[in-house]
Amino acid sequence: MQPLLVQACLDTFYMVGWSTLIAVVGGLPLGVLLVLTDKGGLLQNTLVNKVIGQVVNVARSMPFIILMVALMGFTRAVVGTTIGVEAAIVPLAVGAIPFFARLVETAVREVDHGLVEAVQSMGGNTWTVVRKVLVPESLPSLISATTTTIVALIGYSAMAGTVGAGGLGDIAIRYGYQRFESSLMWITVAVLAVVISVIQFAGDSGARVLHRRAGKGGEPLRFRALTGLLTRGPVPAEATATADAKTG
């Protein structure tokens, strides 16, 4: 029984880890591009902005289970199979990229435009602005965004588990539901709760440390904007409380 659970945990971590990595690598530039190409942005381009925005919107609102099925052909082309942990990473990553991109967009948009102008006045180009201002200045929010994405991916991965990907979701369905072993089901729930809490705590602490260093001046607002988005996922009450305490 125990090795089963341990293996399931590792499978979940494996799926979530890789898909998070791909989501960050793919979503970060996409989110930044959404801000840059927007009206008044440094690379203002309405067409590109509209196209990316639309793709992101559609992909993000697509129910994951449908996305998973729809992407089967693509998955087979990439990893050679549609069953198993590797196969699950493909739809997970594809689903998480637009999700993360939107969070990145919100975070980057909060960066004071004055900082962008300052770098421009020093002779910096757009790439310099992205590298030296937009990303480092929104780092606390980006960390929060990554946390949210990881938590969401754990949810998605459980869904993937139900259709043959393995992991904790697979255990819960096969043993807990189909074999009526409700104890195992509850253990899975407990494990998930602990994992999610640890990740959320780690993410919040990281973001908070950076926030504190960055100090006052608009920071609480940025925190708030993100907690607004976070409310869709499990938000620890303390995060909201801190944001309120800071503004107060």
Partner 1 sequence: MITTSGLTKVYRSRGREVTALDGVDLHVREGEVYGVIGQSGAGKSSLIRCVNLLERPTSGTVTVDGVDLTALAGRGQRAGKELRRARSRIGMVFQHFNLLSSRTVQDNVELPLEILGISGRERSRKALELLDLVGLTDKAKSYPAQLSGGQKQRVGIARALAGDPKVLLSDEATSALDPETTRSILTLLRDLNQQLGLTVLLITHEMDVVKTVCDSAALMERGQIVESGTVGELLATPGSELAAALFPVSGEASGDDRTVVDLTFHGETTTEPVISQLSRTYNIDISILGAAMDTVGGRQVGRMRIELPGRFEENVVPIGFLREQGLQVDVADVAGRADLSSGEPQLVKEGVAK
Q: In the complex, which residues of this chain contact partner 1 (CB under 8 A)?
A: 42-44, 112, 114-115, 117-126, 128, 132-133, 136-137, 139, 210, 213-217, 219
| Token duo for residue 200 | 């959320």
Shortest distance, position 127 Cβ to partner 1, whole Å: 11
Shortest distance, position 46 Cβ to partner 1, whole Å: 13
Instruction: Please say which residue, 136 or 234, places its beta carbon nearer to partner 1.
Output: 136
Instruction: Please say which residue, 90 or 108, places its beta carbon nearer to partner 1.
Output: 108
Name residue, tokens 């199979």. 81
Instruction: Please say which residue, 41 or 98, places its beta carbon nearer to partner 1.
Output: 41
Shortest distance, position 204 Cβ to partner 1, whole Å: 18
* Beta carbons of 56 and 98 less than 8 angstroms apart: yes
Ranges of H-type helices in the chain: 2-36, 46-61, 64-70, 72-79, 85-109, 113-121, 126-128, 135-137, 139-160, 168-171, 182-214, 219-230, 237-247
Shortest distance, position 57 Cβ to partner 1, whole Å: 25
Shortest distance, position 100 Cβ to partner 1, whole Å: 20
* Beta carbons of 55 and 79 less than 8 angstroms apart: no
Q: How many Å apart are CA 134 and CA 141, to the nearest integer?
A: 11
Instruction: Please say which residue, 179 or 212, places its beta carbon nearer to partner 1.
Output: 212
Instruction: Please say which residue, 107 or 154, places its beta carbon nearer to partner 1.
Output: 107
To the nearest 10°, the Cα dihedral for 18, 162, 78, 151? Answer: -30
